């Protein structure tokens, strides 16, 4: 039985708990949220993980695995210390690695702790193909993220435009994956994931689009290299609890957790 600390208990965290209820090999022992989120997290825990304690930090004893679904700040606050203590971590907020030096800090912490940090594919696919293609050499990787206007609320997309009355598809950002992940920490984790698997945060070109004609979160990756080329389009259903986040992110986290205890992994 693997004892898990879940960091974050919002749209992803709650849906992960719902799915894990039936898993005999995985037990959520702690749910880590800031003080302001403790009451809500306790209500979720009572319903879905009654044996879990709600805490402000990952307990230093009795945790075999940390899964983060909280936001960029949680990497420094909770993932780095857990890794240093030797606890393996699964990370959804991959865009946090756009901060200068953080990838190196994560590597050093995991090395010091004799453990590993896994960045999940989250809302995007073909990360295996892209990472394999990198071995042979990549010439171009381009990522386009298209979401309905309301999914861009509370982001720089609101600067100089009214999202509610947007009449046509509008490019709200063009630049590097690093800049996209920094400026859109809740919307462009996928841009960082694609870049880290492929050409890197600075050489991967990103376009983000607010599109009143779509209801899904549409992610497109185009890649070319020695392997040949591919184009991938994902039309992801958003979570009702958070339109910025695709349901596939939840399934990706649960898959990563189940893979830790499964006798055969794909
Ligand atoms: N890799 C991917 O494809 C995706 C990654 N994400 C990442 O997952 C994160 C969570 O997404 P949602 O659940 O939809 O967000 P949400 O806003 O619904 O939930 C966030 C939860 O984390 C908690 N939290 C916030 N800061 C924290 C901290 N420093 N330490 C511990 N807990 C903290 C909040 O109290 C809340 O419970 C996003 O912010 C994003 O970074 C989201 C979508 C896709
Ligand atoms: O869930 C999604 O569709 C993608 C997302 O928010 C992100 O990359 O941060």
Provide the pLDDT for residue 47: 98
pTM of the predicted model, to two decimals?
0.98
DSSP characters over 165-214: G--S-EEEEEEEHHHHHHH-TTT-HHHHHHHHHTT-TTTSEEEEEE-TT-
Provide the pLDDT for residue 200: 98
Provide the pLDDT for residue 139: 98
Provide the pLDDT for residue 16: 98
Is residue 78 part of the annotated active site? The answer reads: no
Atom of ligand 1 nearest to the CA of 124: 3
Provide the pLDDT for residue 198: 98
> How far does the centroid of ligand 2 lie from the alpha carbon of residue 194, in Å?
12
Provide the pLDDT for residue 5: 98
Report the alpha-carbon distance of residue 79 to residue 214 in Å, rounded: 35
Provide the pLDDT for residue 171: 98
Token readout for 204 is 């991967």
Pocket lined around ligand 1, Cβ cut-off 6 Å: 7-13, 32-34, 37, 69-74, 77-78, 92-94, 122-123, 185-186, 189-190, 193, 242, 245, 249
Provide the pLDDT for residue 258: 98
pLDDT tens, N- to C-terminus, the chain (266 residues): 999 999 999 999 999 999 999 899 999 999 999 999 999 999 999 999 999 999 999 999 999 999 999 999 999 999 999 999 999 999 999 999 999 999 999 999 999 999 999 999 999 999 999 999 999 999 999 999 999 999 999 999 999 999 999 999 999 999 999 999 999 999 999 999 999 999 999 999 999 999 999 999 999 999 999 999 999 999 999 999 999 999 999 999 999 999 999 999 99
Provide the pLDDT for residue 180: 98
**Ligand 2 site, residue 245, Cβ cutoff 6 A:** yes
- How many angstroms separate the first and last alpha carbons of the chain? 20
From the list 66, 75, 82, the residue with the least C-alpha distance to 31 is 66
Known binder of ligand: residue 123? yes
Provide the pLDDT for residue 96: 98
Provide the pLDDT for residue 30: 98
Provide the pLDDT for residue 144: 98
Atom 31 of ligand 1, residue of closest alpha carbon: 33
Provide the pLDDT for residue 194: 98
- Are 4 and 88 contacting, i.e. CB atoms less than 8 angstroms apart? no
Atom of ligand 2 nearest to the CA of 219: 3
Provide the pLDDT for residue 122: 98
Burial (Cβ within 10 Å: 0-12, 13-18, ≥19) of residue 66: buried
Provide the pLDDT for residue 214: 98
Q: Supply the ipTM of this predicted assembly.
A: 0.99
Could you tell which of 249, 251, 252, 253 is best to mutate to test the pocket of ligand 2, judged by most ligand atoms within 8 Å of the CB?
249
> How far does the centroid of ligand 1 lie from the alpha carbon of residue 70, in Å?
3
| Neighbouring residues of 18: CB distance < 8 A, sequence distance ≥ 6 | 48
Could you tell which of 150, 189, 209, 238 is best to mutate to test the pocket of ligand 2, judged by most ligand atoms within 8 Å of the CB?
189
């Amino acid at each position: 039985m693997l004892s898990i600390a879940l960091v974050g208990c919002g749209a992803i965290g709650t849906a992960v708990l719902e799915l894990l209820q039936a898993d005999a090999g995985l037990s959520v022992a702690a749910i880590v949220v800031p003080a302001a989120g403790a009451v809500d997290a306790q209500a979720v825990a009572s319903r879905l993980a009654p044996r879990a304690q709600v805490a402000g930090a990952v307990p230093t004893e009795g945790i075999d695995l940390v899964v983060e679904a909280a936001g960029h700040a949680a990497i420094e606050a909770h993932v780095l210390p857990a890794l240093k203590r030797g606890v393996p971590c699964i990370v959804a907020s991959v865009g946090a690695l756009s901060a200068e030096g953080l990838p190196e800090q994560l590597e050093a912490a995991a090395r010091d702790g004799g453990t590993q940090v896994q960045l999940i594919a989250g809302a995007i696919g073909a990360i295996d193909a892209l990472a394999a293609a990198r071995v042979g050499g990549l010439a171009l990787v381009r990522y386009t993220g298209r979401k309905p206007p309301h999914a861009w609320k509370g982001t720089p997309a609101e600067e100089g435009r009214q999202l509610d009355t947007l009449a046509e598809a509008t490019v709200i950002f063009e630049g590097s994956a690093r800049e996209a992940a920094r400026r859109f920490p809740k919307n462009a984790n996928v841009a960082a994931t694609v870049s880290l698997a492929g050409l890197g945060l600075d050489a991967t070109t990103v376009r983000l689009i607010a599109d009143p004609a779509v209801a899904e979160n549409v992610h497109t990756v185009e890649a070319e290299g020695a392997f040949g080329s591919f184009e991938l389009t994902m039309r992801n259903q958003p979570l009702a609890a958070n339109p910025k986040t695709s349901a596939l992110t939840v399934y990706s986290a649960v898959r990563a957790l189940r893979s830790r205890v499964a006798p055969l992994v794909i």
